[in-house]
Structure formats: C-alpha cells, structure tokens
Amino acid sequence: MNEIIIYTCIFIAVFALAMFIFSLFSQDKYARRLKSLQSAQTMHQLKSEADDEFTFKVVRLVEPFAKLTLPKDGWETSPLKVQFLQAGWRGEYAPSLFFGIKTILTFAIPLLFYLLLKEQFSRDNSLSLAVILISGAAMGLVLPKIYLDFVISQRKEEILAAFPDALDLLVICMDAGLSFDQALTRVSHEIKIKSRILHDELALILIEVRSGKSRERALRHFVLRIGIEDINNFASMIIQAERYGTSVSESLKVSSEELRLKRKQRAEEKAAKIPVKLLFPVAFFMLPTLLFILAGPAIMEIFSAIHLGP
C-alpha cells in the first residue's frame, strides 16, 4: 500500500512537471504577456475589493463610537470638512472613521495608562493619577488632528514640488497649439510619473469641466482642495486671463517663473536653517565624544600619576 502511494505521488509530480514544460513551449511570448496582464488586472481588482470590504468592516466597528463626537449639523460647511478635502480623505466613510478612532483613543489611552500605572500610584497619589488620565484623554483627542495636519502638509509639499514642472508642460502644450483643456489632459497624464496626487487633482478639474461646470468653478474647487496660496494665485490669473481675453499662455509663463522662483527660495531657506538645526546635535552629542577621545588618554595618565604619587 505504501509503494502504491509513493508511485502515485511520483506520477502526479512527473505529470505536473511535464504539463508545466508543455505550457511554456506551447504559448508564444505575446500570449504569455497577455495572460500575465490579465492576471495582474484580476489581482488588482481582487485587492481593491478586499480593501473595500476591510474598510467597510472597520467602519461598521467604529461607527457607534463615531456618533458620540461626529457633528450632526453644519458638517458640510465646517473647516474640518475642508481639511479632509485637502488631506485627500473624500470617501463617504472618512468622517465616521476619523471621529470613531478619535473617540476610541480618547477612552483607550487613559485606560492603558491606568493599567500600566495603577500599581505605581498609591491612594495618596490619586491626584497625580487623575492628571495622567486626563492627559491621556486629551492626547486621544489631539492625536487624530495631528495626523490629519501631517497628511495635509505632506500632500502640500509634494504638490508644491511638482506644480512648477506641470506648469512648464502646460505652457509647452499650449504653445504647440493645444487648447487649455487638451493641454491639461496631457499634463495630467504626464505628471503622474512624478506626483500621483497632482495627477488626481488635475483629473478632477477635467471631470468637473466635462460634467458641465464652468472652468472658473472647477479651478475654484481645485484651489479649495489644495489649500495653497501660490496655486490660488495661479487659478486667479487663469480666471482673469479668460475673463478679459488676454493670453492664457503668457499668464502661465509668468506664473511658472514665479512658482519656480519661490521653490528655489524655499530650498535656499531650508539650506540656511541647516546650521542652526545641527547646532544642538553637535553640541550635545559630537563635541563631548570628541573631547572624550582627545582628552581621555591625557586625563587617564594624570589620574594614574596622582595615584602612584612621587
């Protein structure tokens, strides 16, 4: 019986190897390439569906907690809604996730502090424990907002770094004879290599224009989603150029030069701050180590001479 099982396993292994070799040599490279692309597309679709399902489960889990802090009135016009747009959190589940996690952290962090510190504080130090618990609750309230501000700042930095190049491409496309919308479509496709965030924002402008909205309104929405003053100036320049009939291409050239100059100035400002930022690490970490290495042998010889005596 054991020999039959072994022979069966060997037969299955040899048959599988033979079919694999046959499949390699029976299909040409184009068929294999098409099959790999189809499998990659299927895997991407399955991954997207799995992510949506996971997000839906998380939302259902935190939604009861979100009702405790989620504002019921005025949410659509609140400043926090604008910050969500600037952070790229535009899904319908974003408010529930944000406020749900905020509520959970408000209760979870003080509970964690209490479990860790309850043995270290006696009944006489109950006031200190209460202060720590209140600080933990405040931390739970503030941490989601800090993370939101961090995401917004990262998006703004990426957009500011890529936008002058996008304007240069836009000027080149319009000088080649394309209209503003056609040039914006081409730039949106090309800038995807450098900045996926800017690609998505430019694509949203095109979608709004194609859906029937005016270009001025689409640009105003673009400025609202970005929240950057330089891009606000760019949008105002384009709107005024179209309103008064001036050359859009010349306005884009002026705006591109201005943005590129500001990007250079920001880089120079960061470079000028480097010596100040390096002052404290050098003073507290490098200099003591260097002094210990240089003066250490001499100090050891002095102490050895003192101990040995005359």
d(CA 138, CA 141): 5
Q: What are phi and psi of 74, to 5 degrees?
A: 75, 15
Name the DSSP class of 93: T
pLDDT of residue 71: 67
Buried-state track 115-152, b at ≥16 Cβ within 10 A, e below 16? eeeeeeeeeeeeeebeebbeebbeebeeebeeebeebb
pLDDT in tens, the chain (310 residues): 566 666 567 767 766 666 665 555 544 544 555 555 555 444 444 344 445 565 666 666 666 666 666 666 666 667 888 888 888 887 777 777 788 888 888 888 888 877 777 776 655 567 777 788 888 888 888 888 888 899 899 998 888 888 888 888 888 888 888 888 888 888 888 888 888 888 888 888 888 888 888 888 888 888 888 888 888 888 888 888 888 877 777 778 887 788 888 888 888 888 888 888 888 888 888 888 888 888 877 877 777 777 665 5
Q: What class does CATH assign to 157-265?
A: mainly alpha
Residue 42, pLDDT score: 47
- Structure tokens, 46: 């399955």
C-alpha distances in angstroms, 290 versus 282, 283, 287, 302?
10, 10, 5, 19
Domains of the chain, residue spans: 79-151, 157-265
